[in-house]
């Protein structure tokens, strides 16, 4: 009996058992995201997330953690013990919430009361009533987009003679007798509210687990007995390589013109050469964007041109020149190739060449002025988003670009004119202004401005632009940004700091990489002067990046981490921050930081990523957003740096031979550095993920919804836990295996960040039944990595000494 118990204990407390359970949880969750994509969240929950086998796996991993803590006497390093046991406490809180909590919806119309919560298909009565006095929506100026919505309610508890009025809104909840009410949605007529309600007996246990986890993870980084501090001591005295700072000027593309008739070509040349000053002045006017953000027209023009062409300029013309020309001479500009089409199949359907990326507005219509894509676009829209393939998504995007182009030709987007004494502070376009505004001066000035541009008498238009500015200041000053903010945004648009940083980062990182490897091969060390120069340049670039982020924060009025473009610039910032703070003593590690940063910012300017600064939707107006997103995206930078350092390590494996025995020591050092970056990344990812749980619970009453985005973040945690614990499997661990896993693990981050948004929702084209082709760059990168692994596979492995840490 004792032998059986000992055998069970040995299996339960085994590291191999831990890795196996983590793999089951990760693979199961990953499979669940694809099940949800194809069959819906209810099926995914039934088959995976809420299934008996998945919950049993979570129970077993808890037992495994407790057993390992006991077996390894982890209490000797208290921070390490606490953050391992914190996961068990969090799972216990989740168990209490799931099986003993209540989660439902309450629907109330204005002037009515309710004490009924709909839980699934059942009704639950609470011992008090909520009366909706008024439902209120605040919108952005001149827009239908909600800025905030709230329910003004009265809580009536007759049993306890307690009645009070309060307001429930996004990120502002009502708590009473264990129940929490969250503003979720509202009725279409805006006369009723929808409140999510929960009663969570496990919240104290869960939050206690969160607090222990956050505190112990941070303390672990500073504990002298921790693995992190052990690795820091190992790499403290690294001295590798020399330094070269390249200074290259950015080259602009030479403009080229398509084969058009001579009149259009001559017009475009003249417009390009003579309209710039007037167009730039025109761009300084204030415009009210489609969702209510007040901004310089220059910003909107750049956004529109970026949507049309995926570029910030066209044929050497600025966005202001293009937009001014499109409105003033629409019939001519409709014949100009300015609308982006991504898929060769769609280009062929429109009668263009496969390699012709830009088409004209008239290319989309036949000789009878019939829109060629009507039927295809209707079919694409009828498909649910998860069933749209690359072709269907391009169809919908092109249709949107065509509509944007049409609105640009008609000037619909040029909402430059505030309506006097309008309650909603609405601004209107040229045509609406002529119909609704009784101001002869502004009508006369706008007509003459358009005439001047149409007749190419650009010098006559300056005074008319100033007349429009005077009108804006007189009737729209209450919602206009300050002059300082406007001028700052115009300057931000012109300098294009982030793109220039991406080029400098890549050049600096590649130069350090080349000279780093070269110096290793010659077994050179870095002098103190070179060391100071490298750090000075790195710190200068980090300072510029910090300034760029602060500038965007000032312009938008919120932390710049609310969309894909902003988070990519922030991830690159965290990569550089990791290099400057933790990896500056190793040139190769520092080069990896800057290469990863450059790649992320450069990628932000590719594809369908939109750099537009927008207004926040109500649920994002929370301080939890800034904390959660900033921490979790910062971890991606550390993981990216770790992956690049691991790739560099594999390069050293390729160069390794008997004539260079000293390479083995460099490989070990880089392996230590990789592990340091992954530990920091995992610490941030775990803290950021659970901060997201707090945000979700405080905003709409649930910690976790198994949304594909959050599920893949959870999978990434499991993957990196496996990578960092693989060293405990002594019979298979080698530095080479660790480097390979560090590279491959980054694919989970790419899936979390890109895959869920851009590929998971379109794995097959249901219009044709064909699978959507995986992007070429995925094959290229995958092929390079696999080739490197095969070439680098060592004939003789390095073994890490069996250290206690």
Percentage with pLDDT > 90 across the chain: 36
The pLDDT of residue 612 = 58
Work out the average pLDDT over 260-286. 89
Query: Does residue 254 have a pLDDT over 50?
Result: no
The pLDDT of residue 692 = 83
Q: How many CA atoms are closer than 13 Å to the CA of 331, on its beta-carbon side?
A: 2
Out of 367-371, 757-761, 793-797, pick the least confident. 757-761
Q: End-to-end CA distance of the chain, in Å?
A: 34
3-state secondary structure 128-183: EEEEEEEEEEEECCCCCCEEEEEEEEEEEECCCCEEEEEEEECCECEEECCEEEEE
Please give the radius of gyration of the chain, using alpha carbons only, rounded to the nearest integer.
Answer: 30
Of the two residues 235 and 596, the one the predictor is more confident about is 596
The pLDDT of residue 795 = 59
C-alpha dihedral sign at 574, 578, 584, 587: negative
> Highest mean pLDDT range out of 490-494, 553-557, 562-566, 636-640?
490-494
Query: Does residue 241 have a pLDDT over 70?
Result: no
The Cα 645–Cα 513 span in angstroms is: 10
Q: In a 3-state reduction of DSSP, which class is residue 71? A: helix
Q: What is the mean pLDDT of the chain?
A: 83
The pLDDT of residue 155 = 93
The pLDDT of residue 95 = 92
Work out the average pLDDT over 197-202. 88
The pLDDT of residue 240 = 35
pTM of this prediction exceeds 0.85:
no
Contact 360, 338 (CB under 8 A): yes
Work out the average pLDDT over 1-28. 85
For residue 295, name the pLDDT band (cuts at 50, 70, 90): very high
Cα-based distances in Å from 213 to 79, 96, 452, 682, 696: 9, 19, 67, 13, 18
Helices (H) then strands (E): counts for the chain: 29, 18
For residue 525, name the pLDDT band (cuts at 50, 70, 90): low
Of the two residues 754 and 67, the one the predictor is more confident about is 67
For residue 255, name the pLDDT band (cuts at 50, 70, 90): very low
CA angle 273, 275, 278 (to 5 degrees): 145
> Highest mean pLDDT range out of 530-544, 584-598, 623-637?
530-544
The pLDDT of residue 632 = 83
Of the two residues 387 and 172, the one the predictor is more confident about is 172
Token output for 579: 């290099």
Residue 64's H or E segment, with its range, is helix 52-71
The Cα 442–Cα 450 span in angstroms is: 12
Token output for 130: 């909520």
Query: Does residue 607 have a pLDDT over 60?
Result: no
For residue 220, name the pLDDT band (cuts at 50, 70, 90): confident
Listed residue (473, 150, 495) closest to 294, CA to CA: 473
Query: Does residue 204 have a pLDDT over 80?
Result: yes
Work out the average pLDDT over 111-115. 90
Taking only the tens place, the pLDDT of each residue in 668-716 is 888 998 999 999 899 989 988 888 888 777 776 777 778 888 899 999 9
> Highest mean pLDDT range out of 176-185, 431-440, 460-469?
460-469
Contact 157, 174 (CB under 8 A): no
The Cα 732–Cα 804 span in angstroms is: 18
For residue 242, name the pLDDT band (cuts at 50, 70, 90): very low
CA dihedral 169, 170, 172, 173 (to 10 degrees): 80
Query: Does residue 608 have a pLDDT over 60?
Result: no
The pLDDT of residue 675 = 92
Out of 403-417, 758-772, 789-803, pick the least confident. 758-772
Contact 278, 453 (CB under 8 A): yes
Query: Does residue 243 have a pLDDT over 50?
Result: no
Contact 652, 670 (CB under 8 A): yes
The Cα 128–Cα 115 span in angstroms is: 6
Listed residue (390, 332, 389, 401) closest to 364, CA to CA: 401
Query: Does residue 224 have a pLDDT over 50?
Result: yes
Query: Does residue 53 have a pLDDT over 90?
Result: yes
Q: In a 3-state reduction of DSSP, which class is residue 92? A: helix
The Cα 633–Cα 604 span in angstroms is: 14
The Cα 653–Cα 366 span in angstroms is: 60
For residue 771, name the pLDDT band (cuts at 50, 70, 90): very low
Listed residue (175, 60, 171, 28) closest to 712, CA to CA: 28
Work out the average pLDDT over 170-197. 86
Listed residue (693, 686, 708) closest to 638, CA to CA: 686
| Cβ neighbours of 599 (radius 10 Å) | 20
What percent helix, strand, coil does the chain show, rounded to 5?
A: 60, 10, 25
Token output for 554: 């000032």
Question: What phi and psi, each to the nearest 5 degrees, are found at residue 190?
Answer: 60, 30
Taking only the tens place, the pLDDT of each residue in 506-522 is 999 888 888 787 777 76
The pLDDT of residue 797 = 62
Question: What phi and psi, each to the nearest 5 degrees, are found at residue 151?
Answer: -115, 120
Listed residue (723, 728, 724, 720) closest to 804, CA to CA: 728
Of the two residues 771 and 535, the one the predictor is more confident about is 535
In the beta sheet, which residues pair with residue 765? 770
Percentage with pLDDT > 70 across the chain: 86
Of the two residues 725 and 244, the one the predictor is more confident about is 725
Token output for 320: 């202001």
The pLDDT of residue 290 = 75
Contact 538, 584 (CB under 8 A): yes
């Amino acid at each position: 009996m004792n032998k059986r118990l000992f055998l069970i204990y040995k299996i339960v407390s085994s590291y191999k058992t831990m890795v196996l359970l983590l793999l089951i949880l990760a693979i199961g969750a990953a499979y669940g995201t694809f099940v949800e994509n194809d069959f819906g969240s209810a099926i995914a929950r039934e088959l995976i997330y809420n299934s008996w086998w998945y919950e049993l796996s979570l129970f077993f991993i808890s037992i495994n953690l407790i057993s390992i803590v006991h077996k390894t006497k982890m209490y000797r390093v208290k921070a390490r013990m606490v953050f391992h046991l914190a996961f068990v406490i969090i799972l216990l809180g989740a168990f209490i919430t799931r099986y003993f909590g209540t989660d439902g919806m309450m629907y109330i119309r204005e002037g009515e009361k309710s004490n009924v919560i709909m839980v699934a298909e059942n009704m639950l009565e609470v011992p008090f009533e909520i009366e909706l006095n008024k439902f209120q929506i605040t919108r952005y100026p001149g827009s239908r987009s909600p800025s905030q919505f709230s329910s003004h309610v009265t809580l009536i508890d007759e049993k306890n003679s307690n009645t009070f009025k309060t307001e429930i809104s996004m990120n502002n909840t009502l708590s009473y007798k264990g129940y929490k009410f969250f503003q979720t949605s509202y009725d279409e007529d805006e006369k009723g509210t929808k409140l999510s309600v929960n009663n969570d007996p496990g919240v104290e246990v869960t939050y206690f687990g969160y607090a222990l986890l956050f505190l112990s993870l941070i303390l672990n980084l500073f504990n002298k007995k921790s693995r992190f501090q052990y690795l820091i001591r190992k790499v403290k005295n690294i001295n590798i390589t020399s330094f070269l700072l390249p200074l290259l000027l950015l080259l602009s593309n030479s403009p080229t013109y398509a084969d058009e008739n001579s009149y259009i070509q001559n017009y475009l040349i003249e417009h390009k050469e003579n309209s710039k000053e007037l167009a730039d002045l025109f761009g300084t006017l204030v415009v009210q964007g489609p969702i209510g953000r007040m901004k310089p027209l220059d910003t909107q023009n750049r956004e529109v041109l970026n949507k049309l062409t995926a570029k910030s300029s066209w044929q050497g013309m600025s966005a202001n020149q293009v937009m001014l020309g499109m409105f003033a001479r629409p019939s001519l500009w409709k014949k100009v190739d300015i609308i982006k089409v991504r898929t060769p199949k769609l280009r062929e359907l429109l009668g263009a060449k496969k390699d012709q990326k830009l088409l004209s507005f008239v290319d989309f219509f036949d000789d009878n002025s019939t829109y060629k894509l009507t039927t295809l676009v209707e079919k694409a829209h009828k498909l649910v988003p998860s069933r749209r393939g690359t072709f269907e998504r391009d169809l919908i995007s092109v249709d949107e670009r065509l509509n944007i182009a049409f609105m640009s030709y008609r000037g619909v987007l040029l909402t430059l004119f505030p309506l006097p004494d309008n309650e909603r502070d609405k601004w209107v376009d040229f045509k609406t202004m002529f119909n609704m505004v009784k101001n002869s001066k502004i009508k006369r000035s706008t007509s003459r401005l358009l005439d001047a541009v149409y007749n190419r008498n650009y010098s006559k238009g300056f005074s008319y632009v100033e007349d429009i500015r005077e009108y804006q200041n007189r009737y729209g000053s209450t919602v206009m940004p300050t002059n300082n903010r406007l001028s700052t945004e115009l300057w931000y648009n012109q300098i294009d700091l982030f793109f220039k940083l991406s080029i400098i980062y890549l050049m600096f990182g590649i130069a350090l990489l080349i000279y780093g490897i070269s110096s290793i091969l010659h077994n050179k060390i870095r002098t103190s002067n070179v060391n100071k120069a490298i750090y000075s340049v790195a710190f200068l670039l980090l300072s510029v990046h910090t300034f760029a982020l602060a500038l965007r924060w000032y312009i938008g009025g919120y932390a710049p981490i609310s969309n894909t473009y902003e988070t990519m610039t922030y991830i690159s910032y965290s990569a550089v921050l990791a290099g400057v703070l933790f990896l500056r003593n190793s040139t190769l590690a520092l080069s990896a930081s800057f290469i990863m940063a450059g790649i992320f910012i450069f990628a932000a300017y590719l594809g369908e990523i939109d750099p537009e600064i927008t207004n926040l939707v109500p649920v994002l107006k929370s301080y939890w957003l800034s904390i959660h997103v900033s921490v979790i995206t910062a971890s991606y930078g550390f993981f990216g740096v770790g992956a690049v350092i691991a790739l560099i390590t594999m390069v050293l494996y390729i160069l390794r031979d008997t004539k260079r025995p000293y390479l083995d020591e460099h490989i070990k050092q880089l392996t230590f550095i990789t592990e340091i970056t992954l530990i920091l990344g995992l610490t941030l990812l775990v803290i950021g993920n659970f901060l997201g749980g707090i945000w979700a619970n405080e905003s709409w009453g649930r910690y976790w919804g198994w949304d594909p985005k959050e599920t893949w973040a959870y999978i990434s945690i499991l993957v990196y836990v496996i990578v960092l614990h693989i060293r405990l499997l002594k019979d298979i661990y080698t530095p080479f295996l660790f480097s390979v896993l560090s590279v491959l693990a980054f694919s989970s981050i790419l899936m979390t960040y890109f895959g869920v948004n851009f590929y998971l929702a379109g794995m097959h084209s249901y219009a044709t039944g064909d699978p959507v082709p995986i992007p070429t760059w995925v094959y290229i990168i995958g092929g390079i990595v696999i080739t490197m692994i095969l070439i680098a596979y060592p004939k003789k492995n390095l073994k890490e000494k069996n250290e206690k840490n």
